[in-house]
Amino acid sequence: MPYAQCHVGIVSLDPRHKSHNIPGKFLTYMQSGLPVLANVNEGNDLSGLILDERVGLVCESNRVEELVELADRVLRQIEVDLEIAEWCRVLFAREFAVEQAVRQIVAGLGCRIG
């Protein structure tokens, strides 16, 4: 397991981004059951996903003070929410696994599998 020694994954996007972006490392963190602390541009879809799925915390202000506070909170969260690693893996399997991508592509093409 590539992140066995880690407790939290960090995602940091350039705050000047104007588009939505789900970086590959976020997917790897989810697949590995690793909650995230994300610093993203305001209004990024990743914010809602992380918060709605309860797989970490998000900073949209790009302020160091807020990031420090959120880092403390996410560390406390993983001590209390013992199922958070499983929530990460479930999110990955449901939304981002290869099989899910195949289903979405095939559906978009109007085909049926099997």
Residues 14, 44: contact at Cβ < 8 Å? Answer: no
Phi and psi at residue 86, to the nearest 5° = -65, -40
Structure tokens at 103: 């289903």
Map out the domains of the chain with their CATH numbers: 9-109 (3.40.50.2000)
- For residue 111, pLDDT over 80 is answered with no
More reliable by pLDDT, 3 or 89: 89
> What is the model's pLDDT at position 102?
76
79 contacts: CB under 8 Å, gap ≥ 6: none
Q: For residue range 54-83, what is the model confidence (pLDDT) as tens digits?
A: 999 999 999 999 999 999 999 999 999 999
Question: Global pTM?
Answer: 0.84
Q: How confident is the model at residue 114 (pLDDT cuts 50, 70, 90)?
A: low
> What is the pLDDT, as a whole number, of residue 43?
85
Q: Rounded to an integer, what distance in angstroms lies between the CA atom of residue 74 and that of residue 65? A: 14
Average of per-residue pLDDT across 17-24: 82
CA distances from 86 to 12, 38, 109 (A): 23, 19, 32
- Residue at token pair 């003070």: 65
Give the closest residue to 69 by CA, choosing from 46, 40, 39, 33. 39
pLDDT of 21: 78
User: Quick one: which of 3, 27, 7 has its CA closest to 76?
Assistant: 7
